[in-house]
Amino acid sequence: MYLIISAVALAIGGAIAIALLAKRPYRIKYVTLQKLPIYLDALLKRGHNGAFLRIEDMDSEKFLQFSKYIQPNRRIGLELSFPKSPWSEPYYQELKSFLRRQHINFDITPMEAAPTEEFLDVDCQSDLALAERLAEGIFREVFQRRGELFFRLTPINISAKDELIDN
């Protein structure tokens, strides 16, 4: 009798653990700067509308996020959105200066929800080279990261199939 109760309890506990793990977002660790273009390309081609790729520095709390948009005419592109919030405020003005030095256009989107005051948005359109240049430049020049960079990536709503998603 105790064996049956123990087996049932173990099965229930295992099912709960699996369910909790399944809800966690998939993360890819120790991605180098040289491998980052593979994931940006996957976002652009295989991401659904609103899909995003969070790029986190493995050695700090700093991160970037690119999202994919699909417009009604099947025009697809990537947008970098950088928040002005407590963690990012020390880098916000330097990011604006970096973008101006690189002659990269950006927009500011005000937010009503604290603690994020606004977002700085850069429309990369379908220019992967620009997205790659932004990621490297922001980590190197704005966040002042030196040496080998390692990232933890969180891809959300990107198809595992090798397919173009444009609608």
Residue 68: its H or E element: strand 63-70
Bridge partner residues of 52 (DSSP): 67, 156
- Overall average pLDDT of the 3-10 stretch: 54
Query: Do the beta carbons of residue 65 and residue 153 sit within 8 Å?
Result: no
Question: Residue 134 CA to chain centroid, in angstroms?
Answer: 13
- Overall average pLDDT of the 62-87 stretch: 93
What angle, 0 to 180 degrees and rounded to 10, lies between the N-to-C axes of helices 128-137 and 36-46? 140
Report the percent of the chain where pLDDT is more than 90: 68
Residue 130 CB contacts under 8 Å (≥ 6 apart), including other chains = 104, 124
- Overall average pLDDT of the 2-17 stretch: 52
Q: pLDDT digits over 20-34, tens only? A: 334 445 788 989 999
User: Is the pTM for the entire model greater than 0.85?
Assistant: no
Rounded to 5 degrees, what are φ and ψ at 54?
Answer: -95, 130
The whole-chain average pLDDT of the chain stands at 87
Q: pLDDT digits over 85-144, tens only? A: 999 999 999 999 999 999 999 999 998 888 888 999 999 999 999 999 999 999 999 999
Task: Please tell me the predicted confidence (pLDDT) of residue 44.
Answer: 96
Q: How far apart are CA 10 and CA 111, in angstroms?
A: 47
Task: Please tell me the predicted confidence (pLDDT) of residue 38.
Answer: 94
Say yes or no to pLDDT of 17 above 70: no
Task: Please tell me the predicted confidence (pLDDT) of residue 23.
Answer: 46
Query: Do the beta carbons of residue 77 and residue 123 sit within 8 Å?
Result: yes
Say yes or no to pLDDT of 45 above 50: yes
Q: Could you give the strand order of the β-sheet that contains 28-32, starting from the edge strand earlier in sequence?
A: 28-32, 150-158, 47-57, 63-70, 76-84, 118-125, 107-110
Q: How far apart are CA 47 and CA 99, in angstroms?
A: 26
Say yes or no to pLDDT of 14 above 60: no
Count Cα atoms within 13 angstroms, Cβ side, for 159.
13
Count Cα atoms within 13 angstroms, Cβ side, for 52.
14
Looking at residue 135, the DSSP 8-state letter turns out to be H
Task: Please tell me the predicted confidence (pLDDT) of residue 62.
Answer: 92
Q: How far apart are CA 110 and CA 107, in angstroms?
A: 10
